[in-house]
Amino acid sequence: MSLEHFLNQAVSSWMSEEGPDSDIVLTTRIRLARNFEQYKFPTLFSHQEAQQVISEMEQLLQNSGLQKFGQMELLKIEDMQPLQKRVLVEKHLISPQLAEDSPYGAVLLTENEEISIMINEEDHIRIQCLFPGLQLTEALQAANEIDDWLESHIQYAFDEKYGYLTSCPTNVGTGIRASVMMHLPGLILTQQMNRIIPAINQLGLVVRGIYGEGSEALGNIFQISNQITLGKSEEDICRDLIGVVSQLISQERSAREALRKTSNIQLEDRVFRSLGVLTNSRIIESKEAARCLSDVRLGIDMGYIQNMSKSILNELMILTQPGFLQQYAGGQLRPHERDIRRAALIRERLKMEFNKL
């Protein structure tokens, strides 16, 4: 398969398009957890109940009303190959839990992959909207529209006091998880992130490294999301998140300007060394690739590198995950083989950029 053909198939609009503040905010996601009133939660439901949930959703899919949200397709976990599941996880379209621990799981996906509805994961329904850049209000509106439509056809589990009832009490109430994925190399290089994370936690928000574990964030990419789902409205939850994210954006921008003033040549050197590694390496581990991709993206945003797509970080962070590499290779790869493939894919992708010139 040619790389261009592979990219056409693999890259979703939210990965390649630019949204507001997309020099720092990569994507925005809204997730709503909902359950059917009449069936037990997936924790305890019977095989039969699980099938009923899926067939209810299948019936709704026949309804033309759902089509206004885009052409949708229902994929059952049991029908998917391990590699196919892995690729969907790497694209954040389904959760690892749906792929690995939900035998009766399924997902409704729109063609542009902006909307995915997970079925029979921890809750019966999880509506997810994924937008490029910082678009919390827009994503919330989109999720609400789907939710309203579903709600007119489904009897949701809802309580006047506790709100939308979810399998886990951490999600009860609004059932909302609003999250924003941010590229924060400036705050890392100026060593401010360790100070900022606890402050954000104090505000009831969670900061996570996206691909790394714990505090080590691969590619300087962080996800900021709400923790509290009960007692605040969806709009307030999003507003609070936007407030913190806007502050982070301006802090990141001033960190970048400070770096330009104090260490211009060092920064430029770092950016072009990383570009050199990506353009020339024959073997590259995901950690090194992530670091170099982050540098190159910073170089593009700060104008050191010109005529290169900004989406390269977003795209390649996802496409150089093991599942995608194996899909591109057309079969299983051992870790060492992956590192070779990863290097090759990055080189080829960069060549496409250079050929544009």
The window from 15-23, 37-45, 242-250, 253-261 that contacts another protein (CB under 8 A) reads 37-45
What is the rounded CA–CA span in Å between residue 256 and residue 241? 22
| 26 close to 132: Cβ distance less than 8 angstroms | yes
- Residue from the set 157, 249, 278, 296 that interacts with another protein by CB under 8 A: 157
Residue 284 annotated in ligand binding: no
Give the separation between CA 135 and CA 139, rounded to whole angstroms.
6
Residue 357 CA to residue 341 CA, distance in Å, equals: 25
The residues pairing with 116 across neighbouring beta strands, listed in sequence order, are: 109, 128
Angle, helices 335-356/322-329, rounded to nearest 10 degrees? 80
Tell me phi and psi for residue 126, to 5 degrees. -135, 110
Please answer whether residues 180 and 241 qualify as being in contact, where contact means their C-beta atoms are separated by less than 8 angstroms.
yes
Is position 177 annotated in a ligand binding site? yes
| Per-residue x/- track, 204-233, another protein (CB under 8 A) | xxxxx----xx------------xxxxxxx
Tell me which stretch binds another protein (CB under 8 A): 19-27, 108-116, 170-178, 346-354.
170-178
Judged by DSSP in three states, 13 sits in helix
Q: Rounded to the nearest 10 degrees, what angle do helices 286-301 and 312-319 cross at?
A: 170
Nearest distance from residue 187's CB to another protein, in Å?
A: 18
Please identify which residue in 47, 79, 160, 307 interacts with another protein, judged by CB under 8 A. Answer: 160
Residues 4, 111, 159, 257: which binds another protein (CB under 8 A)?
A: 159
Question: What secondary structure letter does DSSP report for 219?
Answer: G
Among 43, 62, 191, 307, contact with another protein (rule: CB under 8 A):
43
Residue number with CB closer to another protein (63 or 71):
63
Q: Is 19 in the site for another protein (CB under 8 A)?
A: no
Nearer to another protein, 82 or 231 (CB): 231
92 labelled as ligand-binding?
A: yes
Q: Distance (Å, rounded) from C-alpha 234 to C-alpha 145?
A: 13
- In the numeric block, the tokens 């009923």 are attached to 52
Pick the binder of another protein from 14, 41, 304, 324 (CB under 8 A): 41
Among 158, 268, 279, 348, binds another protein (CB under 8 A): 158
Q: State which residue, 60 or 109, has the beta carbon closest to another protein.
A: 60
Nearest-CA neighbor of 294 among 196, 183, 132? 183
Beta strand 221-226 with 125-132 is unpaired
Interface with another protein: number of residues (CB under 8 A): 50
Identify which of 2, 32, 26, 5 has the alpha carbon closest to the alpha carbon of residue 172.
32
Instruction: Compose the 114-153 pattern: x for residues touching another protein by CB under 8 A, - for all others.
Output: --------x---------------------x--xx--xx-
Give the x/- contact pattern for another protein in 187-206, rule: CB under 8 A.
-----------x--xx-xxx
Per CB under 8 A, contacts with another protein among 233-272 are: 233-234, 237
- Distance between CA 234 and CA 1 in Å, rounded? 44
Q: Are strands 25-34 and 72-76 parallel, antiparallel or unpaired?
A: unpaired
Dmax (CA) of the chain = 65
Question: Is 181 a known ligand-binding residue?
Answer: yes
Paired tokens of 147: 């939710």
Q: Summarize as ranges the residues that interact with another protein (CB under 8 A).
A: 35, 37, 39-41, 43-44, 122, 144, 147-148, 151-152, 156-165, 167-170, 172-174, 176, 198, 201-202, 204-208, 213-214, 227-234, 237
- Give the annotated binding-site residues: 27-31, 92, 126, 177-181, 208-213
- Give the annotated binding-site residues for ATP: 27-31, 92, 126, 177-181, 208-213
